[in-house]
Chain A
Amino acid sequence: GAVVSQHPSRVICKSGTSVKIECRSLDFQATTMFWYRQFPKQSLMLMATSNEGSKATYEQGVEKDKFLINHASLTLSTLTVTSAHPEDSSFYICSATQGRNEQFFGPGTRLTVL
């Protein structure tokens, strides 16, 4: 139980384009989903907290107009990187929780912006 999926697993795009990443909780309803970014050889940095039906809460320094988060249902949250640039290349990981502390992580999405 408590499986989280992400799609796509890898994406390569041209600079200036937008990329959408999906995060799904497959066998449970997630009260909250989180989006993290991880640069090579670095830790996971929380970007935003997402709750179904409400606006996401962004961490300091994260541009909400660049990283659009839509939490459409209790099992789906999407992260759209708008007008992507090479510095946005990173490993994006989502997680989901059932209202308790433990977070269940997705497998991550490797974004490469050319």
Chain B
Amino acid sequence: GENVEQHPSTLSVQEGDSAVIKCTYSDSASNYFPWYKQELGKRPQLIIDIRSNVGEKKDQRIAVTLNKTAKHFSLHITETQPEDSAVYFCAASMKAGGTSYGKLTFGQGTILTVHP
């Protein structure tokens, strides 16, 4: 099955700095890569996702890059703010349908702390 590795496990930055979180995946059939932000005791919140037919996607201060050949993708947060502090998870899945049903495999998570 799919295996997703995420680094670093913790990341501490000063307000205004950039933060980068990296993930690798094992199954070349995976084609959907979402990123989630989770606050303590809350549900995961989708912040950005990318599909395998593009290499980069940006939404304001957040961007994701995908390298299919190397099987890795990264989350970039610019101009970080204290409210960005949370746990971030990457995930990977194959196209929904058939026996896969689009199930997600999550990375281990990164605790991001943005210091004012």
Contacts and interface: CB of A to CB of B under 8 A. Distances in A.
Q: Do A and B bind each other?
A: yes
Contacts of A100: 96, 102
Interface of B: 32, 34, 41-46, 49, 51, 89, 93, 95-97, 99, 101-109
Nearest to B90: A43
A78 interface: no
Contact of B44 (A31, A97, A105): A105
Interface of A: 31-32, 34, 42-46, 49, 51, 57, 91, 93, 97, 99-103, 105-108, 110
Tell me what chain B mostly uses at the interface: helix, strand, loop, or mixed.
loop
A101 B93 contact: yes
B107 A101 contact: no
Given A32-B101, A97-B96, A108-B41, A102 B46 contact: yes
Contacts of A91: 41
Given A101-B95, A102-B49, A46 B43 contact: no
Given A44-B106, A108-B41, A108-B43, 5 more contacts: A31-B96, A32-B102, A46-B104, A57-B101, A107-B42
Contact of A93 (B43, B49, B101, B102): B43
A105 B43 CA distance: 6
B88 to A, nearest CB: 11
A99 B97 contact: yes
Contacts of A99: 96-97, 102
B109 A51 contact: no
A34 to B, nearest CB: 6
Contact of B106 (A43, A51, A101): A43
Contacts of A102: 34, 46, 49
Contacts of A108: 41-43
B44 A44 contact: yes
A43 B109 contact: yes
A46 B49 contact: no
Contacts of B99: 57
B102 A42 contact: no
